[in-house]
Structure 1
Amino acid sequence: MKIAFVVMGYLPNDRGGVPIYIDKLRREILQKNIKSIVLCEKRTTNDVSDTDSGVYYINNPLINLIPPFRQFGFLLGLLLSFNIIFREKPTHFHGHTSFYGGYQSILLGLIYKKPIIVTCHGIDKQGRLYFLYKKADCIIYQIESTYKNLLSYKLPRSKLIEVPNCIDISELDLFSQSSNFIYLARFDDMKNPHLVLETARLSKKLQLQVKFTLIGEGRLFDEIKIHSTNNMVLTGKLSKVEDYLKIVRPMGYLAVSKIENYSSTSLLEMINYGIPVIATNVGETTKLITNENGFVCDLTPESVVEQIQLILKHPDIAKSKANKLKQIIVNQYSMTTMIYKHVQIYSILST
C-alpha cells in the first residue's frame, strides 16, 4: 500500500512545507510498513523536493490566482503531478482539505481508478466538491461510522472515505470579558464577512459596547475596510494569530460561514482556546455547534446580535458552553485521536 497525500492548494499553509498533521501521520503509518508520498505546491525557496522522503514540491506559477481564476491553478497543479504519480504508483489518494486538495485527490483517484480518502472541513451539499462526490459515485461517511465500519469490515473498499480536520490540543485559555468578538477567515463570499459588517453596524445602532476584530485577507478585504465602522478593527493577515489573541483576549468567535464548515481549522482553534462560538445554522455545522455548547444563529445580523447579547449578559454560561465544546474537540478532533484512527483505517485497507 502506498498513499499519495495531496495537499496542493493547501491555503492555510502559506509558509510552505508539509502540514504538521500529514508529517506526523506519515511517520506513524510507516511503522505499519505503509509507504506514502506527499504532493505539495512550492511556496517558498525552502520548499525543495526530497525524493528519498517522498515529498514532492510542484512549481505551479498559477498558485496564487484569485477566484474565479484559481481553478486554472488547480488544473495546472493536477497536470504537473501526473509524472510523479506515474513514477511512484500510489495505491490510494488522500486529499487534505475539502477544497483544492480534495478536488485533486478525487480527480486523480478517478483517473487512476484508485480508492480516495478526503480530510474535510464539512461537506457543502450544494457545492462543487459534493458534485465530484456524486460523479465518483461515492458514499460519504463521517469519521465515527467510517472507523466502526472499517473495524468490522463493512465498508466497501471502492468507496470514498471522508474524515474531518483536526488540530493539536493546547492548554491555552484565551477567553475574557473584553467584549471583543473575533472573525478569523478568508475575506470571500463563502466566509461571509459582510454579515460581520452588518452585525457591527447594528451593534453600533443599538449602542452595544462591543468591538469586532477581523483577521485575514482576501478578495473582499478592501470593500469591508472601506465600509467598516469605528467598532471594527481589520488587522489583515497575521503571521502569529495566537500571539495576537493573547493580547486581544476575545469574548467570542464569529463562525458565520454561508456553507457548512463544521471542522475548519480556524473554528477548531478558537474552540481549542476556550472561546465561546457563535455559529450560523448552516448545513451540518450543528453536528458540532449546538445551543448546548455554543450559540447558534441565523444568517442575519439581528440573529447574530441576539447571541452576542446573550454572551455579554451571561459570560459564565458562555464560558461553560465553551468548555463543553472544547471537550468534544479533545475527544474527537485532536491530532492524536485522528492520527490513531487514520492508522487503524490504513492498516485495515492495506490487508
Structure 2
Amino acid sequence: MKIIMIGSHLRTTGGITRVIKNYLQGGLGDKVDLEFFPTYYGSNHIINILYFIKQYLKLYFNLVLFKKKYDIAHIHMSYRGSFIRKKYIIRLLNRLNIKIILHMHGSEFKDFFNESTDNQKKEIKDTLNKATIILALGEQWKKYYQTISKAHVISLDNAVFPKINNTLPEEKVYITTMGVLSNRKGTYDLIETALKIKGKIDPKYKFLIAGDGEVEKVKSKVKELNLEDLFIIPGWISDQEKIDEIYRKSIIYVLPSYNEGMPMSILEAMSYGLPIISTNVGSISSVVEEDNGFIINPGDTEILVNLLIDLLNDQSKIKLFEENNRNKISEKYNVYVSLDKIVSLYKSIL
C-alpha cells in the first residue's frame, strides 16, 4: 500500500504533531509504503502561506504532471487555518479518485462550524463528505461528525507509548499541566485554585504549568496574587528528556479545559501512572473514569481544590490510580495497538 500522510511539519508543537510522531516512531513506515507530506510550517502567517503554496504546487505537480500514485491519503485536520489548507488538498485528491481518511483533531471544531455563515457551513460539510472515512477522537466526536457529514465515521482513540516510572513517592512534587496557557485550557482556573489551596497542602508541592501561549500574562497574574512560591512556569519545553523528567516527578496531572478533543497530554500523563483531574469536555470522560481520576465541570475551582487536597492526602488511592492508568495505556491507548488498527483500516478501504 502506498500511503501519503498529510499534516503539520514535525518542527511544530501540539497534539497533532505528537500523534504523527508517535505513528512514525511506532513503525507505521515499516508496515506500509508511507510518505509524510507537511503542509504547515508553524512560523509567522506569511511564511505559513508561502510554505503551503509551495507544498500544494509540489503535490499538484507530483500527482497531475508526474502521475505519482497513492492508494490512500491520510490527512490530519483541525479547524480554521488547518481546514482552509486541507480543503484545497482534499478537492485535488478527490478529483483524482484517491481515497481519503480525514483524521479530525480540532478541539474547537464545533465552535468553528457554529460561528460560520450558512455558505461556509455548506463548504465545511461538502469537504467532510469527500472523505472515504472520517476518524473521530472518541465516541462523542464520532456522534458529532455524523450530524454534519454523510461520510462513514469511525472512532479512533489517540495513543501513546507505555512507560515505566520508578520514581519514589517522596520525589513526586509537581501538580502538572502541559499545553497552551490560556483561558480555554483553564490556566487561570488553576491560578484561582492555587490561591484557594495555599496553606492547605504540603509546601513541597508546586503547580507546574508548561507550554506556550500567554506565558508572560500568567506569570504576571501569579506575581500579582503573591503565588510565586506555588508555581513553576518554564514556558514551552521541546526537550523530551526534560518532559520525561517532569512527568516522572509529578504526582497529579490536572487539565481544567473548556473544550478538547482527546488530549495527548492526558494520555502521556497516564502512561507515567499519574492520576488525572480534568473536565467533562470532548472525549475526556471516556478516558478518565472512576478508577483512574476525576472529572469536574469546567470552572469549578471549589471541587478542584477539594479533590487535590483529598488526593494528596491519600497515597493508597494515588497508587491504585497509577496501576490502573498504566494498564489502560498498555491495553487500550497503546501506540502499537493503534497502529494495527490503522493498517487494518487501510486494508479494509482498499
TM-score normalised per structure 2: 0.74
Q: 1:254 Cα deviation (Å)?
A: 0.9
**Structure 2 matches for 1:2-151, cutoff 5 A?**
2-8=2-8, 11-12=12-13, 19-22=21-24, 24-30=27-33, 36-40=34-38, 63-65=42-44, 75-86=49-60, 87=62, 88-96=68-76, 98=78, 104-105=85-86, 107-113=88-94, 114-121=98-105, 124=108, 126-128=110-112, 134-138=125-129, 140=134
Give, in whole Å, the separation in 2 of the partners of 1:157 and 1:89.
26
* Inter-CA distance 73–258: structure 2 relative to 1 (3 Å threshold): farther
Structure 1 unaligned regions, length at least 5:
31-35, 42-57, 146-155
- 1:221-259 deviations in Å (ceiling 9; x for gaps): 100011111311111222335446537711101122221
* RMSD, matched Cα: 3.6
Q: Which amino acid aligns with 1:188?
A: S
Q: 1:125 Cα deviation (Å)?
A: 5.5
* Inter-CA distance 160–284: structure 2 relative to 1 (3 Å threshold): closer
SS at match of 1:168: coil
Higher deviation after alignment, 121-130 or 81-90:
121-130
Partner of 1:238: 237
Q: 1:324 Cα deviation (Å)?
A: 1.5
Q: Which amino acid aligns with 1:193?
A: T
Partner of 1:149: none
Give, in whole Å, the separation in 2 of the partners of 1:140 and 1:274.
31
* Inter-CA distance 80–271: structure 2 relative to 1 (3 Å threshold): same
Partner of 1:172: 165
Q: 1:215 Cα deviation (Å)?
A: 1.2
SS at match of 1:270: helix
- 1:136-183 deviations in Å (ceiling 9; x for gaps): 3447555899xxxxxxxxxx9964656332222222245735453011
Higher deviation after alignment, 2-11 or 266-275:
2-11
Task: Check conservation: 2:101, 2:134, Cα contact below 8 A.
Answer: no
**Higher helix proportion:** 2
* Inter-CA distance 201–321: structure 2 relative to 1 (3 Å threshold): same
Percent identical among aligned pairs is 19
Partner of 2:146: none
Task: Check conservation: 1:6, 1:93, Cα contact below 8 A.
Answer: yes
Partner of 1:217: 212
Task: Check conservation: 2:76, 2:104, Cα contact below 8 A.
Answer: yes
Q: Which amino acid aligns with 2:207?
A: F
SS at match of 2:261: coil
Equivalent residue for 2:197, pick from 203, 206, 222: 203
* Inter-CA distance 144–227: structure 2 relative to 1 (3 Å threshold): closer
* Inter-CA distance 270–77: structure 2 relative to 1 (3 Å threshold): same
Q: Which amino acid aligns with 2:194?
A: A
Task: Check conservation: 1:176, 1:250, Cα contact below 8 A.
Answer: no
- 1:76-110 deviations in Å (ceiling 9; x for gaps): 44432222322135343213464676764455224
Q: Which amino acid aligns with 2:336?
A: T
2:260 equivalent to 1:227: no
Task: Check conservation: 2:4, 2:73, Cα contact below 8 A.
Answer: yes
TM-score normalised per structure 1: 0.73
Partner of 2:145: none
2:182 equivalent to 1:188: yes
* Inter-CA distance 289–318: structure 2 relative to 1 (3 Å threshold): same
Give, in whole Å, the separation in 1 of the partners of 2:276 and 2:210.
16
Higher deviation after alignment, 171-180 or 335-344:
171-180
Task: Check conservation: 1:211, 1:232, Cα contact below 8 A.
Answer: yes
Partner of 1:274: 273
Give, in whole Å, the separation in 2 of the partners of 1:319 and 1:188.
31
Higher deviation after alignment, 81-90 or 287-296:
81-90
Instruction: Count residues in correspondence.
Output: 308
Q: 1:5 Cα deviation (Å)?
A: 0.8
SS at match of 1:187: coil
Partner of 1:151: none
Q: 1:331 Cα deviation (Å)?
A: 1.5
2:302 equivalent to 1:310: no
